[in-house]
Amino acid sequence: RAKHEGRGGFRFFEAAMDAEAQRRRQMELDLHDAIEHGHLFLMFQPLFNLSEGRISAFEALLRWQHPERGTIPPADFIPLAEDTGLIVPIGAWVIREACRIACDWPDHVRIAVNVSPVQFRNPGLSAVILQALAESGLAPERLELEITESLFIDNPQTTLASLHSLRNLGVRVALDDFGTGYSSLSYLRSFPFDKIKIDRSFIIDLLNSDGATAIIKSITTLAEALGMETTAEGVENAGQLDILRAQGCSHIQGYYFSKPIGVTEITALMASKTGDEANPRLEPTDMS
Ligand code: C2E
Ligand code: MG
Ligand code: MG
Ligand code: MG
């Protein structure tokens, strides 16, 4: 009887696995479809330069307009795209689309694009970037690639070599989600990132922990000594902004300044949020 139940349990498990495998298979088919029919699109979130008092860049954030399920956020489909390799053509599309859109903006406004580890390790990445720059006419230094620390875990030497060859194309490189992964200071010394993006988890803690403020201070001090900019991610209220400014953070990004917006809203936002140096005319939504 015990044996019988065990087999039943196993069959139940098998059925559940089948359902999960099938769900993933269907999603993979849907994702192929989405690429083919142009159901992927980009939203753009501004990065605000605190000392200049103006928007310095927009980060391209991928969305999937699913015919039945509505808008799907990247967290729900990028892992699958990475497992299946679909992130390579999707990521190439993101780079081309982002460059195409950004070339119409003022020269001082950059476009930041997230590059998945799978895409980074693909040998075709440089060619994709060169083609996107050539097609759009965007100056290379206006394209900023965001990569994550996880790339340094497996093969730091190969990662460094690839970073240097990307840098030789003239593009900028930012370290995204800093402090969440395999945080070692050695690779900050080995590669001159243009920017460090401090992960949102540190910003969330700012108002209730002195430790978080000390961490921000040490990151901005280190970054400045290494000639790197800093962007605080996920800034949601004035209290966080005040601390970040006081601790020497150079840029902010977050719902307090602006949520990700559609391409047609960008020009209006840029026009409304330019201010003088001392007093950036922020028109924020306080999320606290
Ligand atoms: P990320 O690169 O760290 O991007 C920041 C994420 O934080 C975005 O989520 C953004 O909407 C969200 N965010 C910004 N400000 C705030 C805030 O004040 N509060 C809160 N709660 N969230 C805020 P999103 O768009 O869902 O993207 C999630 C992640 O998906 C990104 O994290 C990035 O790792 C990945 N991703 C997005 N687009 C792409 C892409 O084109 N390619 C690749 N490979 N990954 C992408
Ligand atoms: Mg990013
Ligand atoms: Mg980030
Ligand atoms: Mg993040």
Cβ of 73 below 6 Å from ligand 1 = yes
Cα of 179 vs centre of ligand 4, distance in Å, is 10
Q: Go through 65-93 and write b for each residue having 16 or more CB atoms within 10 A of its CB, e for each that does not.
A: ebeeeeebeeeebbeebbebebbbebbbb
Atom of ligand 1 nearest to the CA of 119: 44
Cα of 177 vs centre of ligand 2, distance in Å, is 7
Q: Work out whether strand 54-66 and strand 70-72 pair parallel, antiparallel, or are unpaired.
A: antiparallel
Can you give the pLDDT at residue 153? 85
Angle at 189 between CA 184 and CA 192, to 5 degrees: 115
Residue 81 tokens read as 């795209």
Taking the CA of 74 as reference, the closest ligand is 1
Whose CA is closest to 231, among 208, 257, 268, 207?
Answer: 257
Q: Looking at this predicted complex, what is its ipTM?
A: 0.98
Cβ of 95 below 6 Å from ligand 1 = no
Can you give the pLDDT at residue 1? 46
Average per-residue pLDDT for the chain: 90
- What is the rounded CA–CA span in Å between residue 250 and residue 212? 17
Q: Is 131 helix (H, G, I), strand (E, B) or coil?
A: helix
Over residues 64-105, the pLDDT tens digits come to 999 999 999 999 999 999 999 999 999 999 999 999 999 999
Whose CA is closest to 118, among 160, 73, 165, 85?
Answer: 85
Residue identified by tokens 């050695």 is 186
Can you give the pLDDT at residue 277? 38
Whose CA is closest to 201, among 275, 254, 248?
Answer: 254
State yes or no: pLDDT of 122 exceeds 50: yes
